[in-house]
Amino acid sequence: MPLFDQLYNFAHWLAQDRAEAEDLVQETYVKALRGFSSFQAGTNFRAWMYRILRNSFLSSRTGLKATVAFDETDQEVAVQTDRATPENILLREADREMMQRALAELPVHFREILLLCEVEEMSYQEISETLTIPAGTVMSRLSRARKALRRILQKTIAGKP
């Protein structure tokens, strides 16, 4: 099935639950098949499928609003290594888990835009079509999402709750 792995990955990040992600992907394909006549030839199929998945997710939720205070600091933390030593593997795994927890803390509208851009490698235009928002909003929301993620990671690294 086209885009199955990518859609499941996105659904899992949004829902943060394997069973719910599977249900969302299944619902996405059912809705896509039922509504295929509404797909306009020559438009972006991938963005159309992601939009169906996102709308299914949002319609299954209530009260998806949250506020985030933004920090203007511009610090980055990076661990780089070329060798696969047990210590390096442990550090990479810890970094991955920390990043997953930080992403999970983000509001959905920030999490989804980061995932579409950084994980699914969609262009700003594709994200704009998927989320049905202007490209300028994609860029500004992506910037705010990155700052919020950075703030969460800085708090985690500093040992603050």
> pLDDT tens, 49-75?
998 998 888 887 654 433 333 333 333
* 70 domain-assigned: no
**What total of structural domains would you count in the chain?**
2
Amino acid at 32: A
Same domain, 95 and 53: no
The pLDDT assigned to 99 comes to 83
pLDDT digits (tens, 9 = 90+) for 123-139: 999 999 999 999 999 99
Alpha carbon 139 to chain centroid distance?
Answer: 14
Please indicate, yes or no, whether residues 53 and 90 belong to a single structural domain of this protein. no
**Does the residue 95 lie in any domain?**
yes
Instruction: Give domain status of residue 71, yes or no.
Output: no
Tokens, residue 65: 């609003």
**Whether 96 and 149 share a structural domain:** yes
Q: Which two tokens stand for residue 87?
A: 């210590």
Same domain, 14 and 50: yes
Look up residue 106 and give its DSSP letter: S
In a domain, 20, yes or no: yes
Q: What angle do CA 63, 73, 114 make, to 5 degrees?
A: 45
> Is 37 domain-assigned?
yes
- Residue 108 is part of a domain; what is its CATH number? 1.10.10.10
**Based on the domain organization, do 90 and 154 belong to the same domain?**
yes
- Residue found under tokens 């997710």: 57
Q: CA torsion angle for 47, 31, 29, 125 (degrees, to 10)?
A: 0
Res. 91 pLDDT band, cuts 50 70 90: low
The domain in which residue 127 lies consists of 86-158
Domain boundary among 22, 42, 59: 59
Instruction: Identify whether 80 is part of a domain.
Output: no
- Coil/strand/helix, residue 101: helix
